[in-house]
C-alpha cells in the first residue's frame, strides 16, 4: 500500500531564505522538498538550477524532489546528481529517448520520475512505469505557480492507480484543502502544493490535512 508524501513547492517560498524555508517545511511534517526547475524554454518562466541545489544540499537532509521543466533534460543529469538531488523528474514531452534517460538517472544514483502535461495522454507512461520511482501528473500547465487545479486530469491518476497499485503517483498544480480529497480518491499519494501551504495561516495544519486525507483514501487491503 502506498502512503502519503507531502511535497511543499519551494517555488512559493521566500527564495532569500531558501535553506530556512526548507527546514521550516520539514519541521512542519513535509516528506519531500519539491524544487521547480524551469529553463525559460520548455516553459516560459525561469527559476533555479543545479548550482542552487548544490548550495542548498549541505543545509538540509530533506529529500530534494527536483521537477525539471526543461528542454533536453539529458544534459542536466550529471549536474543534478553532483549537486545532491534525490529525485530527477523529467517531462516525457521533453525527451526523445525516455528509456535511456531513466537508465542514466538511475546510474547517477538518483531516483527517476516522469511528468506529463495536462494534454498528454496517460498511456505514454505505461511502458516505463515498472522502471520509474514516480510518475507526476500535472494538474495545471507547467511553468507558473498559483494556477487552478484541473479536475479532469484525475482520470489519468485513476488509470495509473488501477494499473500500478504500488506506484508513487504525484500531482502538482492548484492542490488545496478544497480539492485534495478528489486527488486522493483518484489515487494520488504524493501531493505537491505551493501557495496553499506557504500562504496558509497554519502551513503545518495544511500538511497534516493533506496527509490524513490521502492516507484515509488508500485501500485497507
How far, in Å, CA of 182 to CA of 186, rounded? 6
The reply, when asked if residue 194 is annotated as ligand binding, is yes
The reply, when asked if residue 82 is annotated as ligand binding, is no
The reply, when asked if residue 172 is annotated as ligand binding, is yes
31, 36, 65, 86: which is the annotated catalytic residue? 36
Please state the three-class secondary structure of 26-79 as a single string: HHCCCCEEEEEEEECCCCCCECCCHHHHHHHHHHCCCEEEEEEECCCHHHHHHH
The reply, when asked if residue 49 is annotated as ligand binding, is no
The reply, when asked if residue 221 is annotated as ligand binding, is no
Catalytic residue status for 172: yes
Strand partners of residue 113: 89, 134
CB atoms within 10 A of CB 10: 24
31, 65, 86, 172: which is the annotated catalytic residue? 172
- Neighbouring residues of 107: CB distance < 8 A, sequence distance ≥ 6: none
The reply, when asked if residue 195 is annotated as ligand binding, is yes
The reply, when asked if residue 84 is annotated as ligand binding, is no
Catalytic residue status for 36: yes
Residues contributing to the annotated binding site for substrate:
9, 67, 143-146, 174, 194-195
Q: Give the residue numbers of the binding site.
A: 9, 34, 36, 67, 143-146, 172, 174, 194-195
- Any idea which residues carry the catalytic annotation? 36, 172
Binding-site residues for a divalent metal cation? 34, 36, 67, 172
Amino acid at each position: 500500500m502506498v502512503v502519503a508524501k507531502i511535497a511543499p513547492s519551494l517555488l512559493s517560498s521566500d527564495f532569500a531564505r531558501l535553506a530556512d524555508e526548507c527546514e521550516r517545511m520539514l519541521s512542519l511534517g513535509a516528506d519531500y522538498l519539491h524544487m521547480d526547475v524551469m529553463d525559460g524554454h520548455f516553459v516560459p518562466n525561469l527559476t533555479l538550477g543545479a548550482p542552487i541545489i548544490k548550495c542548498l544540499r549541505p543545509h538540509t537532509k530533506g529529500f530534494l524532489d527536483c521537477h525539471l521543466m526543461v528542454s533536453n533534460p539529458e544534459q542536466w543529469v550529471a549536474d543534478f546528481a553532483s549537486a545532491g538531488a534525490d529525485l530527477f523528474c523529467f517531462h516525457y514531452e521533453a525527451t526523445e529517448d525516455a528509456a535511456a534517460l531513466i537508465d542514466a538517472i538511475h546510474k547517477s544514483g538518483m531516483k527517476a520520475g516522469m511528468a506529463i502535461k495536462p494534454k498528454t495522454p496517460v498511456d505514454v507512461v505505461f511502458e516505463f512505469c515498472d522502471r520509474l520511482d514516480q510518475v507526476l501528473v500535472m494538474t495545471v500547465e507547467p511553468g507558473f505557480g498559483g494556477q487552478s487545479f484541473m479536475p479532469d486530469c484525475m482520470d489519468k491518476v485513476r488509470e495509473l492507480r488501477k494499473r500500478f497499485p504500488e506506484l508513487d503517483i504525484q500531482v502538482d498544480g492548484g492542490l488545496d484543502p478544497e480539492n485534495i480529497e478528489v486527488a486522493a480518491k483518484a489515487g494520488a499519494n504524493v501531493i505537491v502544493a505551493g501557495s496553499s501551504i506557504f500562504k496558509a495561516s497554519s502551513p503545518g495544519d495544511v500538511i497534516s490535512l493533506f496527509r490524513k486525507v490521502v492516507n484515509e483514501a488508500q485501500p485497507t487491503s
